[in-house]
Amino acid sequence: MDFTDRKILVAGGAGFIGTNLALRLTRQGARLRLTLHDKPLQAAFPTAEVVKLDLRRLEDCARAVEGMDYVFICAAHTSGAAVIRATPLAHVTPNVLINASLLDAAYRARVQKVCFISTGAVYPDTGARPVAEAEGMMGDPHEVYFPVGWMKRYVEILCRTYGEKITPSMPTVVVRPSNIYGPYDKFDFAVSHVTAALIRRVVERQTPLEVWGTGEDIRDLLYIDDFIDGLLAAFAVDRAYFEVNICAGRGHSVRQVLQTLLDVDGFGDADVRFDPSRPSTIPVRLMDNRLARDLLGFEARTRLPDGLRRTLEWYRTTHDPKQTPKTVRETS
């Protein structure tokens, strides 16, 4: 898909996905507008229009989408496993306001197409079996993800409504990522996912190296560059409404991820201690990648050791561990 000179809003331009997406779209010649809220940009975008807005407000959403051809909704209110378990509604109200308001504003502004970044948390518990797109509205989400899963489902239904159920329509794409990792991820333990938290602990040579849970939880890990490939391939699909998993299609345990990190970074004498008493989320989450493979021609290209090595190198060159406060919250 040719993005040259297309006017594109990346909502959440300071976030992990938003930063990497904006970097890719910049290289492809897009004319970007990036929204910020309470965090500064993580990378330089000298040609982009950068606006600080509160996307929970309809008037700010209208300002964000004005004159745009395409909108990518990457903005989200996130937090860690401890917050998810203690105050599960923390993820619900602000995100409903952000997503519903952006979709409404985009429709009123006659935006040509909108992409919403959803989550694998919409899916019911299928144990060790990978979940496919058709299961996104079956049963309830896993109990741990019940509030956030239904919140994301609601926004997906809104996307389908704009794409298929009203006239004139606004084409929408829903992308459900697996566990993405890579440069510009969240490395603050209060909000980081388990891979980013492990990367930081390895770089800092923490002793002991504490890992929440048993280490047996299994996740589908996808390097951020691969995710952006799949995201843009999904956006190019010519349908009024389209939903798809963008994932690697295979799982790794937390123990395997940690051991790979220790191996590629030469941390052979790490004093690793797993703490099953600490909060975690669900034991297994695997996602089916057949639709993306068959329809989009998408497959993850980055091997886990290579992706982890690149992320370790990026983190080491952009963060000074001595200046980073050490806390102990993470989520998977």
Alpha-helix residue ranges (DSSP H) falling in the chain: 16-27, 58-65, 81-86, 93-108, 146-160, 194-203, 224-235, 254-265, 290-291, 304-318
322, pLDDT greater than 70: no
Q: What is the rounded average pLDDT of the residues 185-207?
A: 93
Output the CA torsion sign for 126, 144, 189, 174: positive
pTM score of the predicted model: 0.93
Structure tokens at 148: 């956030």
The predicted pLDDT at position 263 comes to 98
Identify the band that residue 330 occupies on the pLDDT scale cut at 50, 70 and 90: very low
Output the CA torsion sign for 197, 247, 219, 332: positive
Structure letter (DSSP) for residue 193: B
The predicted pLDDT at position 190 comes to 79
Q: Coil, helix or strand for 289?
A: coil
Give the rounded percent of residues in the chain with a pLDDT score beyond 90: 85
Regarding predicted confidence, which is higher, 279 or 108? 108
How far apart, in whole angstroms, are the C-alpha atoms of residue 291 and residue 288? 8
Instruction: State the burial class of residue 46 (Cβ atoms within 10 Å of its Cβ: 0-12, 13-18, 19+).
Output: exposed
Predicted confidence (pLDDT) per residue in 235-248, tens digit: 999 999 999 999 99
Vertex 300: Cα angle to 296 and 303 (nearest 5): 170
Predicted confidence (pLDDT) per residue in 47-83, tens digit: 999 999 999 999 999 999 999 999 999 998 765 555 5
Mean pLDDT score of the chain: 93
The predicted pLDDT at position 3 comes to 98
Q: What is the rounded average pLDDT of the residues 267-281?
A: 89
Predicted confidence (pLDDT) per residue in 129-186, tens digit: 999 999 999 999 999 899 999 999 999 999 999 999 999 999 999 999 999 999 999 9
**Can you give the residue ranges of every domain in the chain?**
7-180+221-246, 182-220+251-285+303-323
Pairing of strands 113-117, 172-177: parallel
Looking only at Cα atoms, what is the longest distance across the chain? 63
Vertex 246: Cα angle to 176 and 39 (nearest 5): 60
Q: What is the rounded average pLDDT of the residues 211-239?
A: 96
The predicted pLDDT at position 79 comes to 57
Predicted confidence (pLDDT) per residue in 74-125, tens digit: 998 765 555 566 677 777 999 999 999 999 999 999 999 999 999 999 999 9
Q: Which fold has domain 7-180+221-246?
A: Rossmann fold (3.40.50)
Of the candidates 234, 203, 210, 212, the one whose C-alpha atom is nearest the C-alpha of residue 297 is 234
332, pLDDT greater than 70: no
Q: Which fold has domain 182-220+251-285+303-323?
A: UDP-galactose 4-epimerase; domain 1 (3.90.25)
326, pLDDT greater than 70: no
Structure tokens at 219: 């996740």
The predicted pLDDT at position 91 comes to 76
Structure letter (DSSP) for residue 295: I
Radius of gyration of the chain (CA): 19
The predicted pLDDT at position 331 comes to 41
